[in-house]
A and B are shown apart, each in its own frame.
Chain A
Amino acid sequence: MNSLYEAVIGLEVHAQLLTETKIFCGCSTNFGNPPNTNVCLVCLGHPGALPVLNQKVVEFAVKMGLATDCTINRNSIFARKNYFYPDLPKGYQISQFEKPICEFGKLVVVKNDGSMKEIQIKRIHMEEDAGKSIHDQEETTLIDINRCGTPLLEIVSEPDMNSAEEAYLYLSKLRQIITYLGICDGNMEEGSFRCDANVSVRLKGESQLGTKAEIKNMNSFRNVEKAIEFEIKRQIEILEDGGKIIQQTLLWNAEQNIALPMRSKEEAHDYRYFPDPDLMPVEVDEIWKSEIEKKIPELPDTRCKRFIEQFNLPNYDAGILTSSKELADYFEKVTEVTTDYKSASNWIMTEVLKVLSEGKIGISQFIISPVNLGNLIVLINNKTISIKIAKEVFLEMLKSNQEPDTIIKDKNLLQISDTTEIETIIDKVITANPKDVQEFLSGKEKVIGFFVGQVMKESKGKANPQIVNELLKKKLSQQK
């Protein structure tokens, strides 16, 4: 980035809430049902139908507000956003405008260079999602109203971010918080967590904001980063060439890695917001607020600090383990079985996360229970098996989902510490490799590694490596 300039970025995030029913009617929010089956006269906008607010949506909005240090407005108002589109049967979207439920929040992100950055949240409001227009037909467009009325939170940041990295971190943090709260699944690819970015650039030291462009259609974290980088570069180049930025909406094209302008016709809207006369103001009194507050689980930052203190883990480990609530829960369940916290952390950060990323699954789909992983660590620590065997057992647990004890017994993997048994194997190996014995005797002590390997191989990895080492040295020296 040209160092004369600075970027100014604000994000608008739409999070689909995990309520069982829609925001203003009793229809299911279940994803993937046949088109137009999760519908009723309310979400179809039939004459005479009226919205009735789902109180769970308010609860979820207040949770998100409290988790991001927002002021919770005691009274907030639903408003109608008027526009015509076929996937919006009423001709207006019920949203919040002048008085949203949450305002003036903030969150802190830690940048890659270790510095901290506070980002203000301007507002969080509740609204209904629209339906889906399906344009894959030859001449006609199909409409699916199932999604219409699915509750959304819109979370609007202040233009506080100055780089794609900060935007990425802010978005990740929001996602982490919202999934910790269990109110949204945070899935960007499936569209249940969506993000639009407002980007402008200005000369450093300038107090006035530059003209902004809005980027839409970024359906992954990586795309958000790439699109913002692209747009910053594009705007700086225009300014450097003496040009002017025009305010417009761009659509990110992930295949070509470029942002292209939307047709201007699609963006010239006067939404004619006004308070929805069908809904009473939403009142969240102190009693309700504190009831909701009690339901908020330990949040990622607090949990990370606790992991560092309680389990004596490095910051890095605690950060990774608390990156999602499920992973942190998993770790804590392992620690109920073993007090070797660092080993538990190592196993999760390496072996477990490797399996998850290879299989593209979440920890909730991971087959090995935390109790079994804990027991495996216990078996290593009491020298029942070696780490090497443990890895073998781990792979077997992935396949058969059996307890480590059972696998060790069935496969006869108990560590051999019986010296007579090991000596027999050593003798066999020495006899079979006279050349290498000579090399050892001539001073090449490194060859000992070869012998250890052979013995371990012969014992199918079960020989206690410490005892093997000691006995080998003794036996080889005796060959002189």
Chain B
Amino acid sequence: MLQYKNHFQKLELLRANKLSLKKNVQDFLTSIAKSKNLNAFNFVFEDCLDNAEIIQKKIITGEAGKLAGMVIAIKDVLSIKDKPLTCSSKILGNFNSIYTATAVQKLINQDAIIIGKTNCDEFAMGSSNENSAFGPVLNPHDNSKVPGGSSGGSAVSVAAKLCDAALGTDTGGSIRQPAAFCGVFGLKPTYGKVSRFGLTAYGSSFDTIGPFSNSVEDTALILEVISGKDEKDSTSAESEKINYSNSLTTDKKFKIGIPKEFFGAGLNQEINVAIHNILNKLKSEGHEIIDVSLPLSEYSIPTYYILATAEASSNLARYDGAHFGFRSKDTPNLKELYTNSRTEGFGKEVKRRIMLGTYVLSAGYYDAYYNKAQKVRRLLKESYDKVFKNVEIILTPTTPTTAFNLGEKSNDPLEMYLTDIYTTSANLVGIPGMNIPVGFDNKKMPIGMQLMANQFNEIAILQLGKVISEL
């Protein structure tokens, strides 16, 4: 058991020499080794121990950064210089990054300790972490269940206490859904709030990087460190610099919107009840609960799967066997080099999405699919803008069910896609969303609740998240 609940407590222990950072890191490494069956890590950086003593000294002398000694795992779609980058795909073979992603570099600059790279669905495509060249990740609450995806390894590493926190990526729910299935906090920031430089692109106009942790405090702290405009990412945005971790406590009474479309048929009754218990408590604390409507929600899944796969079909063209990564041994000519390398290198779900995306961009289909989906995306954005005029927070379930069984949905892609039904909207609209663990179902599987706010209003999510986590 860890002696601390969040990083502020950990720092105090380290500063007072009541905790040895070296031992702390060693304990995590031991836990990772013991939990190998969970398959949460693709790579563990044993040499991260070397930094522990230096960082503890810096903490004692007061020279350390904000994240000093926080032990963080990184989803294996983010680049770290001279470390492997696989995206859990065979096609990247023995590829090593030649540079470090901005978000990871910012963690390192604040003296965080990077313990390893976590397993995920191949190229972040999946909702169960079963699409990985490294094999599936198991849910620590019940090893017969999936951890969710695509950032399953990151969620599990935090839930199983194999590290203090983890970075994941969220294109259609890939942080929030596994956070819900594993019972941890997972924040998808506003699109553009965190630089994508160094994040292997899946759906470039949706991709975001965010933290998994066991507390609102640590979530806030990591967000504060990794966010900000980056010259290397033209789509990153300048936003108000907020010291999130120091602004969590507030007496503010929130106006909370409950969209009826997120509570319809298909929502597991236990989740519904758990959320309504929270709503009742919030109401009794003086927060205002308002019924709202987001009528286009039913189109979010098809819209997302058209646009994200279109972008993916282009983003993944560079893995062709010609330049880096895996190359088929069977290459009689250029066309075969391409075809065989991609056929052998990509997994089934990735191929499915490349084909889907290629199709929707093809001559004759572009207007019917891609263009129409862009229009729906704009309308969806307008509908959220309208709701955010009346409420500051939209509160919904994160997932329609708790974690399902391994293999349960792997042969039915549509059924699998529907597990993202409550999460894709935030990516389409570009707004932040966070999973908050709010209890367990009768099988002791975690239940997650989602808070969404308008663009760059992460502070509202974090503040209300803190209120809820202390109810």
Cα distance A46–B199 in the bound complex, in angstroms: 10
B4-50 CB contacts (< 8 Å) to partner A: none
CB distance from B121 to the nearest CB of A (A): 16
User: Residue B234 at the A interface, CB < 8 A?
Assistant: yes
A48-65 CB contacts (< 8 Å) to partner B: 48-53
From B87, B233, B334, give the contact of A50 (CB < 8 A). Answer: B233
From B231, B318, B338, give the contact of A45 (CB < 8 A). Answer: B318
Asked if B98 contacts A41 (CB within 8 A), the reply is yes
From B78, B234, B338, give the contact of A48 (CB < 8 A). Answer: B78
User: Residue A132 at the B interface, CB < 8 A?
Assistant: no
Instruction: Collect the chain B residues with CB atoms within 8 Å of residue A273's CB.
Output: 361
B333-359 CB contacts (< 8 Å) to partner A: 334, 338, 358
Contact A274/B361 with A45-B318, A50-B234, A91-B317 known, Cβ cut-off 8 Å = yes
B175-225 CB contacts (< 8 Å) to partner A: 196-201, 203-205
User: Residue A84 at the B interface, CB < 8 A?
Assistant: yes
Which of these binds chain A: B130-138, B247-255, B319-327, B439-447? B319-327
User: Residue A92 at the B interface, CB < 8 A?
Assistant: yes
Asked if B317 contacts A277 (CB within 8 A), the reply is no
CB distance from A257 to the nearest CB of B (A): 31
User: Residue B85 at the A interface, CB < 8 A?
Assistant: yes
User: Residue B304 at the A interface, CB < 8 A?
Assistant: no
Cα distance A273–B371 in the bound complex, in angstroms: 12
Contact with B along A257-281 (1 / 0, CB 8 A): 0000000000000101110011110
CB distance from A48 to the nearest CB of B (A): 4
Q: Select the residue from A49, A80, A273 with max chain B CB neighbours within 10 A.
A: A49
Cα distance A143–B87 in the bound complex, in angstroms: 26
Instruction: Collect the chain A residues with CB atoms within 8 Å of residue B310's CB.
Output: 274
User: Residue B384 at the A interface, CB < 8 A?
Assistant: no
Contact A84/B231 with A48-B198, A270-B362 known, Cβ cut-off 8 Å = no
Residue of A nearest to B322 (CB): A86
Contact A280/B231 with A48-B198, A84-B320 known, Cβ cut-off 8 Å = no
User: Residue A425 at the B interface, CB < 8 A?
Assistant: no
User: Residue A191 at the B interface, CB < 8 A?
Assistant: no
Contact with A along B230-248 (1 / 0, CB 8 A): 0111110000000000000
Q: How many A residues are at the interface, by size bracket?
A: 20 to 34
Asked if A50 contacts B311 (CB within 8 A), the reply is no
Asked if A46 contacts B361 (CB within 8 A), the reply is no
CB distance from B427 to the nearest CB of A (A): 12
Contact A86/B334 with A48-B199, A50-B197 known, Cβ cut-off 8 Å = yes
Instruction: Collect the chain B residues with CB atoms within 8 Å of residue A248's CB.
Output: none
Cα distance A116–B338 in the bound complex, in angstroms: 52
From B200, B204, B313, B323, give the contact of A278 (CB < 8 A). Answer: B204
Cα distance A92–B315 in the bound complex, in angstroms: 9
Asked if A48 contacts B197 (CB within 8 A), the reply is yes
Asked if A278 contacts B234 (CB within 8 A), the reply is yes
Asked if B79 contacts A89 (CB within 8 A), the reply is no
Contact A47/B79 with A91-B314, A272-B362 known, Cβ cut-off 8 Å = yes
User: Residue B278 at the A interface, CB < 8 A?
Assistant: no
User: Residue A44 at the B interface, CB < 8 A?
Assistant: yes
User: Residue B370 at the A interface, CB < 8 A?
Assistant: yes
CB distance from B356 to the nearest CB of A (A): 13
Residue of B nearest to A47 (CB): B200
B386-428 CB contacts (< 8 Å) to partner A: none
Cα distance A273–B362 in the bound complex, in angstroms: 9
Q: Select the residue from B97, B200, B320 with max chain A CB neighbours within 10 A.
A: B320
Instruction: Collect the chain B residues with CB atoms within 8 Å of residue A80's CB.
Output: 314
Residue of B nearest to A82 (CB): B314
A137-163 CB contacts (< 8 Å) to partner B: 141, 143
Q: Select the residue from A45, A143, A272 with max chain B CB neighbours within 10 A.
A: A272
Question: Tally of A-B residue pairs with Cβ under 8 A?
Answer: 97
CB distance from A302 to the nearest CB of B (A): 37
User: Residue B92 at the A interface, CB < 8 A?
Assistant: yes
Contact A91/B318 with A50-B233, A86-B334, A270-B363 known, Cβ cut-off 8 Å = yes
Cα distance A236–B427 in the bound complex, in angstroms: 57
Cα distance A295–B324 in the bound complex, in angstroms: 43
CB distance from B325 to the nearest CB of A (A): 9
Cα distance A280–B366 in the bound complex, in angstroms: 21
Instruction: Collect the chain B residues with CB atoms within 8 Å of residue A51's CB.
Output: 234
Q: Select the residue from A44, A46, A279 with max chain B CB neighbours within 10 A.
A: A46
User: Residue A333 at the B interface, CB < 8 A?
Assistant: no
Instruction: Collect the chain A residues with CB atoms within 8 Å of residue B99's CB.
Output: 41, 46
User: Residue A173 at the B interface, CB < 8 A?
Assistant: no
Residue of B nearest to A279 (CB): B234
Cα distance A181–B254 in the bound complex, in angstroms: 59
From A41, A44, A45, A278, give the contact of B235 (CB < 8 A). Answer: A278
Instruction: Collect the chain B residues with CB atoms within 8 Å of residue A47's CB.
Output: 79, 85, 87, 92, 95, 97, 200-201, 318
Instruction: Collect the chain A residues with CB atoms within 8 Å of residue B78's CB.
Output: 48
Cα distance A82–B235 in the bound complex, in angstroms: 21
B276-325 CB contacts (< 8 Å) to partner A: 310-311, 313-314, 316-318, 320, 322-324
Q: Select the residue from A45, A141, A143 with max chain B CB neighbours within 10 A.
A: A45
Cα distance A194–B233 in the bound complex, in angstroms: 32
User: Residue B459 at the A interface, CB < 8 A?
Assistant: no
Instruction: Collect the chain A residues with CB atoms within 8 Å of residue B334's CB.
Output: 86, 141
User: Residue A90 at the B interface, CB < 8 A?
Assistant: yes
User: Residue B101 at the A interface, CB < 8 A?
Assistant: yes
Asked if B314 contacts A92 (CB within 8 A), the reply is yes
Cα distance A31–B286 in the bound complex, in angstroms: 69
CB distance from A316 to the nearest CB of B (A): 51
Asked if B358 contacts A50 (CB within 8 A), the reply is no
Contact with A along B359-374 (1 / 0, CB 8 A): 0011100100010000
CB distance from A270 to the nearest CB of B (A): 5
Contact with B along A29-45 (1 / 0, CB 8 A): 00000000000010011
Contact A272/B358 with A82-B314, A82-B317, A86-B334 known, Cβ cut-off 8 Å = yes
CB distance from A275 to the nearest CB of B (A): 9
Asked if B92 contacts A91 (CB within 8 A), the reply is no
CB distance from B53 to the nearest CB of A (A): 31
Instruction: Collect the chain B residues with CB atoms within 8 Å of residue A272's CB.
Output: 313-314, 358, 361-363, 366
Asked if B87 contacts A274 (CB within 8 A), the reply is no
Cα distance A42–B330 in the bound complex, in angstroms: 29
Instruction: Collect the chain B residues with CB atoms within 8 Å of residue A141's CB.
Output: 334
Cα distance A45–B316 in the bound complex, in angstroms: 11
Q: Select the residue from B87, B98, B318, B324 with max chain A CB neighbours within 10 A.
A: B318
CB distance from B238 to the nearest CB of A (A): 13
Instruction: Collect the chain A residues with CB atoms within 8 Å of residue B323's CB.
Output: 44-45, 86, 89
Asked if A84 contacts B317 (CB within 8 A), the reply is yes
Cα distance A272–B370 in the bound complex, in angstroms: 11
Cα distance A270–B313 in the bound complex, in angstroms: 14
CB distance from A237 to the nearest CB of B (A): 33
Contact A50/B324 with A84-B338, A90-B317, A274-B370 known, Cβ cut-off 8 Å = no
Q: Provide a sorted-by-A list of 26 A–B residue pairs whose CB atoms are within 8 angstroms.
A: A44-B323, A46-B79, A47-B95, A47-B200, A48-B78, A48-B199, A52-B232, A52-B234, A82-B313, A82-B361, A89-B318, A91-B317, A91-B320, A92-B317, A270-B362, A272-B314, A272-B358, A272-B362, A272-B366, A274-B310, A274-B361, A274-B366, A277-B204, A278-B234, A279-B234, A279-B235
Closest 4 CB pairs of A and B: A91-B317, A277-B205, A272-B361, A277-B204
Known: A44-B323, A46-B79, A80-B314. 6 other contacts (CB 8 A): A48-B101, A49-B197, A89-B318, A141-B334, A274-B314, A277-B311
